[in-house]
Amino acid sequence: MEETTFIMIKPDGVQRRLVAPIIARFENRGLTLVAIKMVNTSEALIDQHYAELVNKPFYPGLKQYMLSGPVIAMVWKGKAAAALGRAIVGATNPKESAPGTIRGDFCNDVGRNVIHASDSVESAKREIALWFKPEELVHYVPCDLGWVYENVS
């Protein structure tokens, strides 16, 4: 079943010029990019995005970090996109991320972990709605789907 997921390259990923290599990781796994934009975030948007973390002691530092520069907000589509996106990204703590994952290859510190990925289909729906209007999502069928997935007509 195809689903969508939300992926965000955080300010450190943008500043370190990792946007193209990160996008390539998702494309190489067969996911389809359906929306992308560079955004200077607002406090309100970050508070909504991280609503479940607002009362945590580390949140002020996270918020300051997320407001420190632009981010790349993206929506990706594909079979089990949310789970696959999390697998591509790796564990939240880069020290626990396997080599070959984005965090395992590009990060050293949890406070500079380069990327966010929705942790479930439900979270993805909420996050996509926060960052994108429905008309910003592009609907198309890539010509290579039969080479990425079995039983595609």
Q: E strands within the chain?
A: 2-9, 32-39, 71-79, 115-117
Q: Which of 146, 128, 145 is nearest to 137 (CA)?
A: 128
Q: Which of 116, 117, 127, 131 is catalytic?
A: 116
Residue pair 46/66 in contact by the 8 Å Cβ criterion: yes
Residue 58 assigned ligand-binding role: yes
The whole-angstrom separation of Cα 137 and Cα 4 is 10
Residue 113 assigned ligand-binding role: yes
| 89 DSSP β-pair partners | none
Q: Can you list the alpha helix ranges (DSSP code H) found in the chain?
A: 11-15, 19-28, 43-49, 59-66, 81-89, 102-106, 121-131, 145-148
Active site residue 116: yes
Residue 112 assigned ligand-binding role: no
Residue 151 assigned ligand-binding role: no
- The C-alpha angle 76, 7, 16, rounded to 5 degrees, equals 125
Q: Which residues are annotated as a binding site for ATP?
A: 10, 58, 86, 92, 103, 113
Kindly list the catalytic residues. 116
Point out the annotated binding site.
10, 58, 86, 92, 103, 113
